[in-house]
Structure 1
């Protein structure tokens, strides 16, 4: 028995059942199990949706952020939109008893749809309504339930203080549950590190239905869920985060340069200086095809998007000294608050450039939901000019609606954090990270395949210019192309094909933690951390 009051006041966990595997039963039996579960604090019947429920499709689709999976045939048998910890505990218990896999969804941004799509019988634990945020400004901390988005977190902080923020991602509709557990980088990364570097406690429900905090889960599990992907170990229901100081004035800009404007030389210089700039400067570079100044022609455009923790009078001299090739001028820059910089960086997602309209950050519906396929890489040495020119040819491909490469600079505090401090191992030695993405609106399998193949061609082309042995990848840009688990037992060697790309030398420790806390491998998906023991694989003969 245990009581945690920090986030769920008065929740007492008592689990008297012993779990046993069985063959798959009907969804009706699973639902009846939920209704009969004796420790439900709040009624569960109103948050359970089967495929026969008239609201099933709308509940399933509301958080699907990648329309590539909108009409997937691999839909869950049941969705549980949990309102309380006991709803999750009941779902874990009944899923084990009746042969369903659990998929946990917080924001629905999983790049391969694994939080809501499964080739095996499954149930979604949807954390949409577990989104409470409790700030402690005096102690510079906050409890954030896993269903809250990072936009809701940023907005809530800004309503209480103008001098504190949090280092996480850009897209405001991303859920904190998955984002934090995979690392979570953003425009404060060079100053304060990742979201996972600033987590000081967590609440997770384990395979036995126990609600654990940092003290009761132990440091190994607490280490694992801060960058190793929480869905492999249980259901994370809340994070305690450390807020970071931000100045009252922040400077932002977004300027573009094209091939006609000596773009290639500017990009070359960016590769040399972006990771060496003052750690208060985050200067991302986005590459894509664009209309040329010559009528009817196209060109390659580089957008340089930056946030500086300080005023423009200090910022311009820093940029002119380190990166004069960009030709940045004071008129290109805008002074705003930290929360204004969040809105600025989100402009492409939320469809607003009014930096005062901070309420747009709590809108959980993206204005531009599309189909997309993403991949990732890490770079240790500048890409040579010949390599860039070959990349231009791929970006000119008019067979895709839109393709982009985002180059996010490293350096700063990322060089100072040990690669073993958390499972996120991509630290010093890298100069920038690449995010490849293709997006499209046209429906149809042929269109989808064409765009996905484009990302694969670009990825293959870039192989000589990126990290090697292993070729590193970012788990929050999940990519099933790099390797998948079996439906049943997956050996350590097989899982290492993708696992070492995401986690480097930390993968072995993640597997050891998994074997300890979930020995029968109940919490699993196509790229979940496996167990070391074949005999321990949960119910492998039936699922």
Structure 2
């Protein structure tokens, strides 16, 4: 009976919001909470006074530096169990001037899915953790997966349903939420063979800023293009679920892990690794973890050790891979093996918990020209030898990813990219992190001559607010995000695709309801809002 009443209220609010947009600045948080209580079960809404508020908030915080007494926390956390609850949250939020932030796995490097940089902002979090269904269609080799599922849960379900004959090309970390990962691109160890996660998305269901549920057809081609790589942080709406194309994998894959120290010539081996590019088979992916005085080369090969070893001897003899390095297993076993270690099992993919003991800072680059061996030697001696140093994770490109035109998806880092660099540094509870953050910023500055230029590219799933933050034009909540200011950070993530993303934003959310410190601005409102800002300033002076 309650569900029926909620549905009727939701429909009435949808009708109202479609034709009578409410000015957010006139509404109150109390009215918002009252609206939620009338449209969804009370046990799905946790206010700051709720006994479970802190535990729900912490459940998907991956970086404890965003869980402090000064962190700007949400007015409440909404934990929907079906689409109508998400609709109700959006409609109540629009009606009463409370913005929503969307959290799936909580891996946003800046924590923007559950916190704000602005102390004055009133917002709620829609936590999708209970929307985690995975449905495999073996007849069509496709799957529907909810945004609140983790990558690990998706992988486990695919392997179980397909008898280890199918996979999905996404990231390594099993606790990443599907929603955020696919919204930003989704790089992983199958990208040279099958491209990015977003290259394999074929449909989606999304709640827009008016509370409507849209699919690929009803949202339109521009918006469907935009959410596949340009939708991090819910810029266009709240994606409930994704239909993805699954890819074939052999019953046995091979992996190896080989570490070379600086004394063993790691700089020269890294220089050689950069130049291999498309010389290696697309079935072979070799990433590198560069830390302290060594480089660890980790590989996934879609085939057996007997097939892999001759390839390595012919194409990359400098690494010295032999039979003792090579291990065989199923594809689903390779994910925890590479990411978690040799004792990990496929069941570990289902563990959603992470530790709050480690603080971190990260940023990223793309490399289009090989970095000279002498520079790698300097990196080892001048940067990685420092006691506060972090690490670099190098992920190779080429293959299927490079054959996709830059404009096919918002993710533009395609042809000509040799590899991505992720810079990371960590510290514990007892350390302040000042030295570690300083190391990242100074090392990032040092790397500028050797990475992509005009713009210096970055990966949006490794979000970094140091690249720039949004500026709102107009009167507070009644304004919209500045397109020109957004370009400062936006073109680093999206290059020339940023303008098209802003046009899609104007099409689906012209009032800029879904926004955060690095959300896509609506392009068509820029001139209007500039005039509004000027008029407002003139009125104040008069």
Task: Assess same fold via TM > 0.5.
Answer: yes
Offset, 1:536:
6.5
Q: Structure 2 residue aligned with 1:377, among 353, 362, 365?
A: 365
Task: Assess if the C-alpha contact under 8 Å between 1:105 and 1:124 holds in 2.
Answer: yes
Identify the residue that residue 17 of structure 1 maps to in structure 2.
16
Give the 3 Å change call, closer, same or farther, for CA 22–13 of structure 1 in structure 2.
Answer: closer
Runs of 4+ in 1 over 6 A off after TM superposition: none
More displaced 10-residue stretch of structure 1: 358-367 or 488-497: 488-497
Please give the secondary structure, in 1, of the residue aligned with 2:105.
coil
Q: Distance in 2 between matches of 1:26 and 1:428?
A: 49
Q: What is the count of residue pairs matched by the alignment?
A: 505
5+ residue gaps, structure 1, are 1-11, 38-42, 290-299
Task: Assess if the C-alpha contact under 8 Å between 2:63 and 2:356 holds in 1.
Answer: no
Identify the residue that residue 397 of structure 1 maps to in structure 2.
386
Q: Per-residue CA shift, 1:85-140, capped at 9, x if unaligned? A: 11111111111222222110000000001000112111000001000000001100
5+ residue gaps, structure 2, are 1-9, 474-479, 537-542
Identify the residue that residue 539 of structure 2 maps to in structure 1.
none
Task: Assess if the C-alpha contact under 8 Å between 1:79 and 1:125 holds in 2.
Answer: yes
Offset, 1:25:
4.7
Q: Structure 2 residue aligned with 1:73, among 68, 71, 74?
A: 71
1:101-500 → structure 2 map (5 Å cutoff): 101-118=99-116, 119=118, 120-161=121-162, 162-230=164-232, 231-289=234-292, 300-347=293-340, 352-354=341-343, 357-366=345-354, 370-392=358-380, 393-398=382-387, 400=388, 403-443=390-430, 447-488=432-473, 489-500=480-491
Q: Distance in 2 between matches of 1:210 and 1:490?
A: 23
Offset, 1:260:
1.6
More displaced 10-residue stretch of structure 1: 480-489 or 160-169: 480-489
Task: Assess if the C-alpha contact under 8 Å between 2:236 and 2:509 holds in 1.
Answer: yes
Task: Assess if the C-alpha contact under 8 Å between 1:13 and 1:210 holds in 2.
Answer: no
Q: Per-residue CA shift, 1:465-517, capped at 9, x if unaligned? A: 00000000000000111111024443322111111110111111001010111
Task: Assess if the C-alpha contact under 8 Å between 2:271 and 2:376 holds in 1.
Answer: no
More helix by share: 2
TM-score for both structures, normalised by structure 2: 0.90
Identify the residue that residue 49 of structure 1 maps to in structure 2.
46
More displaced 10-residue stretch of structure 1: 473-482 or 223-232: 223-232
Q: Per-residue CA shift, 1:52-84, capped at 9, x if unaligned? A: 111111000010011121215211111101111
Task: Assess if the C-alpha contact under 8 Å between 1:484 and 1:498 holds in 2.
Answer: yes
Task: Assess if the C-alpha contact under 8 Å between 2:94 and 2:209 holds in 1.
Answer: no
Q: Distance in 1 between matches of 2:250 and 2:373?
A: 38
Task: Assess if the C-alpha contact under 8 Å between 1:276 and 1:412 holds in 2.
Answer: no
Offset, 1:395:
1.3
Offset, 1:340:
1.2
Please give the secondary structure, in 2, of the residue aligned with 1:313.
helix
TM-score for both structures, normalised by structure 1: 0.90
Offset, 1:196:
0.3
- Alpha-carbon RMSD: 1.8
Q: Structure 2 residue aligned with 1:512, among 492, 503, 509?
A: 503
Q: Distance in 2 between matches of 1:321 and 1:368?
A: 44
Please give the secondary structure, in 2, of the residue aligned with 1:232.
coil
Task: Assess if the C-alpha contact under 8 Å between 2:26 and 2:97 holds in 1.
Answer: yes
Please give the secondary structure, in 1, of the residue aligned with 2:481.
coil
Q: Structure 1 residue aligned with 2:514, among 519, 523, 531?
A: 523
Offset, 1:158:
1.2
